[in-house]
Amino acid sequence: MKLDPQLLEFAKAMRSNATDAEHLMWQLLRAKRFMNLKFRRQHVIAPYIVDFYCHELGLVIELDGSQHSTEDAIEYDAERTKFLEALGLKVVRYWNHEVLGRTDVMLGDLWNKCFELTKKTSP
């Protein structure tokens, strides 16, 4: 299935307009720095663009700012998560303030989640 060129263009634009939290997270994940796992940022899983994606684990990481706490956003995020989980993906969410202010706690949580997923994917 060919991806929508507009979606790909939008993902590219999002990469160059990253939030502070996305920028920090990318520095932590890029180039297999975290558990030797390959992550992609602003990755298209049509019809959505996810913040970070690890194909090896089927893991999606979403970073949420305060705009995600409105009723509409909560509903949208729930539908999006349901869609991604129906594809067999695991979705984890962190608030921007967790990434920026409690980086070590967030990374510990992510490590535990990735470790659990690696146990499921290895023979």
pLDDT digits (tens, 9 = 90+) for 21-66: 999 999 999 999 999 999 999 999 989 999 999 999 999 999 998 7
35 assigned to some structural domain: no
Helix (H, G, I), strand (E, B) or coil at 91: strand
- Residue 59's domain comprises 45-123
Q: Are 63 and 99 in contact (CB under 8 A)?
A: yes
Average pLDDT value over all residues in the chain: 91
Does residue 92 lie within any of the structural domains?
A: yes
| Amino acid sitting at position 117 | L
User: In total, how many domains does the chain have?
Assistant: 1
User: What pLDDT is stored for residue 1 in this prediction?
Assistant: 59
pTM of the full structure: 0.88
User: In CATH, what number is assigned to the domain containing residue 50?
Assistant: 3.40.960
Mean pLDDT of the 67-96 span: 91
DSSP code of 17? T
Q: Has residue 65 been placed in a domain?
A: yes
Alpha helices by DSSP H, listed for 30-102, are: 71-86, 96-101
Which tokens sit at 93?
A: 């969410």
Is pLDDT above 80 for 93?
Answer: yes
